[in-house]
């Protein structure tokens, strides 16, 4: 896979500024010990930036915002060009937006995103994120725990998996027409214990702001110990089911994309060794970590047979 690294002079000022403004504001608030003022500013500007959770520190620098929001895999908007995705999201309407929760639960329903972000406590976590194509990043996601949402719908004991579905709107998502051979809509799934894991986030924000459309607005999933394709974007449906649900990539190439897809440097993808990762935008190489460094949270879920 070839990756074009943007030169410094190619980064428009409008993209470079917000992140530095964000960090400056945080630093100033922290330095001045004005935590309370910070909270009240937050209330005036909506839920972003949300309270930062310090438990999830990463020992490498946060990826610049322009890279995380300018180099995207989102096939519904462009099936091959990651840098074109952000230019193709203009017609995509993300508000209002409701997610239907159905299947094996006692309290199914339709949840408006604007209600979800009021109902569940939002927090910011900096996580590593790793695509199966080997590129990686470290970004601050804002969201809530999927566990809390699942508990709120009162799952039945027979619910063993959660199936997710992305919006399927060809008029707003030009990539769907460009690549009609994919079995749209994009679908993904997690086993119930993975969905309930305290790492699994329902994400609505990035870099202290609402989630950009190219990153999955208004609502997506993040599972940082799994390859990025498990982190499904712009979800409209969440279904609690009994058996392992089909997923788009598993349907297309089952030998390349297993259901579990846990990050593992020793398990090569048929087309890519997974021993190293490359951080965007510099493409600095680093060794891949088992479960992307999140072993202490997830190792107990597996017996080594899940792929």
- Indicate whether 257 belongs to the interface with ligand MTE (CB under 6 A): no
φ/ψ of residue 67, rounded to 5: -75, -45
- Indicate whether 172 belongs to the interface with ligand MTE (CB under 6 A): no
Among 75, 97, 120, 144, binds ligand MTE (CB under 6 A): 75
Among residues 104 and 219, whose Cβ is nearest to ligand MTE? 219
Among 48, 225, 229, 259, binds ligand MTE (CB under 6 A): 229
Q: Please, what is the Cα angle at 183 between 181 and 185, to 5 degrees?
A: 125
Among residues 120 and 257, whose Cβ is nearest to ligand MTE? 257
Alpha-carbon gap, residue 118 to 109, rounded angstroms: 17
> Which one of the spans 59-67, 141-149, 231-239, 252-260 is the region binding ligand MTE (CB under 6 A)?
231-239
- Indicate whether 166 belongs to the interface with ligand MTE (CB under 6 A): yes
Contact criterion met (CB below 8 Å) for 71 and 282: no
- Indicate whether 231 belongs to the interface with ligand MTE (CB under 6 A): yes
- Indicate whether 64 belongs to the interface with ligand MTE (CB under 6 A): no
> Which one of the spans 100-108, 143-151, 152-160, 230-238 is the region binding ligand MTE (CB under 6 A)?
230-238
C-alpha distances out from residue 173 to 87, 179, 193, 218, Å: 11, 11, 32, 14
User: Smallest distance from the beta carbon of 233 to ligand MTE, in angstroms?
Assistant: 4
Taking CB under 6 A as the criterion, which residues in 183-212 touch ligand MTE?
186
User: Smallest distance from the beta carbon of 217 to ligand MTE, in angstroms?
Assistant: 10
Residues near 11 by beta carbon (within 8 Å), at least 6 away in sequence: 66
- DSSP H helix total and E strand total for the chain: 9, 13
Residues near 263 by beta carbon (within 8 Å), at least 6 away in sequence: 130, 225, 226, 227, 274, 288, 289, 290, 291, 292
Quickly list H helices, the chain: 13-32, 35-44, 65-68, 113-119, 146-152, 174-178, 192-195, 248-252, 295-298
- Indicate whether 232 belongs to the interface with ligand MTE (CB under 6 A): yes
Taking CB under 6 A as the criterion, which residues in 110-149 touch ligand MTE?
131
Among residues 197 and 231, whose Cβ is nearest to ligand MTE? 231
Interacting residues with ligand MTE (CB under 6 A): 72-76, 131, 166, 186, 215-216, 228-229, 231-234
């Amino acid at each position: 896979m070839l990756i074009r690294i943007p030169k410094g002079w190619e980064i428009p000022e409008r993209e470079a500024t917000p992140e530095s403004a964000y960090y400056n504001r945080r630093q100033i608030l922290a330095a001045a010990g004005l935590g309370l003022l910070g909270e009240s500013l937050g209330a005036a500007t909506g839920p972003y930036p949300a309270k930062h959770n310090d438990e999830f520190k990463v020992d490498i620098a946060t990826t610049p915002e322009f890279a995380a929001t300018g180099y995207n895999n989102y096939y519904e908007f462009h099936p091959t060009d990651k840098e074109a995705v952000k230019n193709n999201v203009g017609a995509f309407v993300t508000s209002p937006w409701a997610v239907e929760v159905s299947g094996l639960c006692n309290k199914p329903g339709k949840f408006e995103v604007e209600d979800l972000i009021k109902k569940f406590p939002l927090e910011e976590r900096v996580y590593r994120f790793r695509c199966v194509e080997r590129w990686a990043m470290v970004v601050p996601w804002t969201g809530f725990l999927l566990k809390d949402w699942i508990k709120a719908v009162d799952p039945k004991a027979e619910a063993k998996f959660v199936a997710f579905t992305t919006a399927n709107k060809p008029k707003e998502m030009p990539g769907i027409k460009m690549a009609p051979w994919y079995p749209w809509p994009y679908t993904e799934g997690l086993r119930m214990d993975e969905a309930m894991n305290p790492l699994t986030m329902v994400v609505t924000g990035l870099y202290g702001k609402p989630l950009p459309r190219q990153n999955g607005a208004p609502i997506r999933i993040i599972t940082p110990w799994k390859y990025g394709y498990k982190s499904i974007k712009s979800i409209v449906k969440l279904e609690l089911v009994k058996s392992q649900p089909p997923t788009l990539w598993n349907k297309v190439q089952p030998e390349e994309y297993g259901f579990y897809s846990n990050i593992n440097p020793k398990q090569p993808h048929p087309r890519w060794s997974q021993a190293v990762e490359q951080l965007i935008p510099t493409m600095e190489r680093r060794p891949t970590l088992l479960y992307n460094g999140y072993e202490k949270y997830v190792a107990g879920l597996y017996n080594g047979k899940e792929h």
